[in-house]
């Protein structure tokens, strides 16, 4: 009798458990064709430094999967017609009906894709990432999220560059920029000893040149002692300037001049901030990077490693096989004696 009672009570308990689950549970049914978010309106995207603080608004509608669900929204931009293959994120968060951003913030983001001070055609969309639950790996979970995107909207975008000074008569289209907009400018420029240059502020129309060792409005052309890359700093408030040789080169037993100077000089890509040399022929041996044919500033493997992404001051030699290479080098810490960087060696 006791045994039968235990079985009976167990059955009642299980029945109550299943009944409770059925009563307390919420059945979630997703639409056969969930309604994607939309990007309804976009602001005028003619951006300018004069209106840098203005707040712009993108308006959209939320995703509708047929039930109440949390979603993250991403406002993306890409070059028109590129199907968001190179998209940049303008906004990411839970808001989609009113996405607000200042002109200056949007300009900084779009400069990753588009040239400054020019009109470009761009596509925008809102992408929703829908997560129902986590941990099971089923569709709609963090392991397999459901993603729905709005149709793209195309618009003309005018971005603006940082305040700049253009080099006039240097022989190349070059500029130096003011990162903080405080009248202090910096840049790496390629100069010709036979071509004196002046500096023009394209916003104000003011021209700067030299007056002895000082900077002067409508001053004379600035000259350098030797041709090649230089680090140019200018302060238009204090009317000062400084031009310093800044020539990054390859040195080592694998290079044409071995461990002797002059080094095999590299060029600078101002668009992505990398130093590079293409189609350079090396023999079996070692290389290092150094500045101005001297050892005060030089980069090699971080001691004890063979990692090209971790170059450091006075590091170990970089061993190469014979061949023709394209080499790029990025300086991540320019100031010695703790200079650091990374490089790529592509054998052709």
Secondary structure letter of residue 101 according to DSSP = E
Domain match, 215 and 294 both: no
pLDDT at 86: 83
Structure tokens at 221: 């052309």
| Final residue of a structural domain among 245, 267, 302 | 245
Alpha-carbon distance of 264 to 285, in angstroms, equals 15
Q: Identify the pLDDT of residue 276.
A: 98
Other CB atoms within a 10 A radius of the CB of residue 284 amount to 11
Dihedral (Cα; 76, 81, 82, 88), 10-degree rounding: -20
Q: What is the pLDDT of residues 74-133, one digit of tens each?
A: 899 999 999 999 888 899 888 778 999 999 889 888 988 999 889 999 999 999 887 665
Distances (CA, A) of 342 to 151, 198, 252, 316: 40, 34, 17, 13
pLDDT at 273: 85
| Domain final residue, candidates 193, 216, 245 | 245
Identify the residue whose tokens are 């023709």. Answer: 324
Residue 1 has a pLDDT of 42
Question: Cα–Cα distance between 14 and 11 in angstroms, integer?
Answer: 5
CATH of the domain at 78: 2.60.40.10
The reply to whether 181 and 117 lie within a common domain is no
Here the CATH number for the domain that contains residue 284 is: 2.60.40.3620
pLDDT band with cut points at 50, 70 and 90 for residue 232: very high
Among 207, 222, 245, the domain boundary falls at 245
Find the range with the poorest average confidence among 175-179, 239-243, 260-264.
Answer: 175-179
Mean pLDDT of 315-321: 97
Token readout for 120 is: 């470009």
User: CA 217 to CA 252: how far, in whole Å?
Assistant: 45
- Which domain range does residue 212 map to? 164-245
Q: Is residue 8 part of a domain?
A: no
User: How many domains does the chain divide into?
Assistant: 3
Chain centroid, CA 230 distance in Å: 24
Phi, psi of 38, deg, nearest 5: -125, 150
Q: Are residues 240 and 257 in the same domain?
A: no
The answer, yes or no, to whether residue 16 has pLDDT greater than 50, is no
144 and 51 share a domain? yes
pTM: 0.62
Q: Are 168 and 138 found together in one domain?
A: no
Q: Is position 26 within any domain?
A: no
Closest CA to 60 of 107, 116, 119, 126: 126
Check whether residue 238 and residue 199 sit in a common domain.
yes
Look up residue 180 and give its DSSP letter.
Answer: S
Q: Which residue has the higher pLDDT, 143 or 265?
A: 265
Do 205 and 129 share a domain, yes or no? Answer: no
Q: What percent of the chain has pLDDT over 70?
A: 87
């Amino acid at each position: 009798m006791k045994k039968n009672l235990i079985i009976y009570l167990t059955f009642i308990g299980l029945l109550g458990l299943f009944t409770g689950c059925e009563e307390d549970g919420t059945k979630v049914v997703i639409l056969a064709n969930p309604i994607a978010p939309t990007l309804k309106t976009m602001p005028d995207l003619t951006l300018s430094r004069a209106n840098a603080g203005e707040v712009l608004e993108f308006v959209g509608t939320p995703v509708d999967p047929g039930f109440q669900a949390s979603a993250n929204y991403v406002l993306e931009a890409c070059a028109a017609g590129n199907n968001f293959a190179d998209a940049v994120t303008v906004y990411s968060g839970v808001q989609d009906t009113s996405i607000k951003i200042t002109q200056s913030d949007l300009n900084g983001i779009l400069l990753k894709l588009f040239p400054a001070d020019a009109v470009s055609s761009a596509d925008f969309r809102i992408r929703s990432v829908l997560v129902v639950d986590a941990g099971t790996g089923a569709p709609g979970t963090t392991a397999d999220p459901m993603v729905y995107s709005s149709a793209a909207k195309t618009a003309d975008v005018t971005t603006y560059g940082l305040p700049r000074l253009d080099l006039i008569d240097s022989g190349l289209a070059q500029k130096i920029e003011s990162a903080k907009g405080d009248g202090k400018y910096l840049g790496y420029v390629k100069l010709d000893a036979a071509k004196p240059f002046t500096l023009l502020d394209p916003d104000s129309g003011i021209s700067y040149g030299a007056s002895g060792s000082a900077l002067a409005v409508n001053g004379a052309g600035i000259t350098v002692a030797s041709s090649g890359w230089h680090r140019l700093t200018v302060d238009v408030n204090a009317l000062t300037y400084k031009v310093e040789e800044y020539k990054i080169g390859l040195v080592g037993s694998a290079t044409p001049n071995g461990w002797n100077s002059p080094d095999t000089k590299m060029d600078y890509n101002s668009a992505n901030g990398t130093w590079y040399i293409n189609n350079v022929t090396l023999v079996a041996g070692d290389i290092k990077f150094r500045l101005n044919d001297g050892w005060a500033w030089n980069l090699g493997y971080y001691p004890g490693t063979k990692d090209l992404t971790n170059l450091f001051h006075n590091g170990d030699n970089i061993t190469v096989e014979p061949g023709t290479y394209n080499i790029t080098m990025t300086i991540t810490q320019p100031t010695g004696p703790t200079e650091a960087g990374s490089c790529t060696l592509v054998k052709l």
